[in-house]
Amino acid sequence: MRLLEELDYKLYDYLSSIDRVKPDTNASSHVVIIDVDEKSLNEFGVWPWSRLIDAGLLAKVNAHTPAVIAFNFLFTQADAYGAKTIQDFYQKTFHQTMDISGIDKNLQDSDKVFANYIKETNAYLPVYILNNKEMISNYPIYHENKQREFGFMNIYSDSDGILRRAKLFDDVNNAYIPAFSLDILSSFDKNSTKRSQKMDILGYK
Q: How does pLDDT run across 159-187, given as a tens digit for each residue?
A: 888 888 888 999 888 888 999 999 888 87
Query: What whole-number distance in Å separates Cα of residue 185 and Cα of residue 34?
Result: 18
Kindly report, residue by residue over 105-131, the tens digit of the pLDDT: 999 999 999 999 998 888 999 999 998
Average pLDDT over residues 132-141: 89
Closest CA to 87 of 78, 75, 96, 76: 96
Average pLDDT over residues 69-97: 94
> In the predicted model, is pLDDT for residue 1 greater than 60?
no
Average pLDDT over residues 39-65: 93
pLDDT for the residue numbered 198: 45
pLDDT for the residue numbered 193: 47
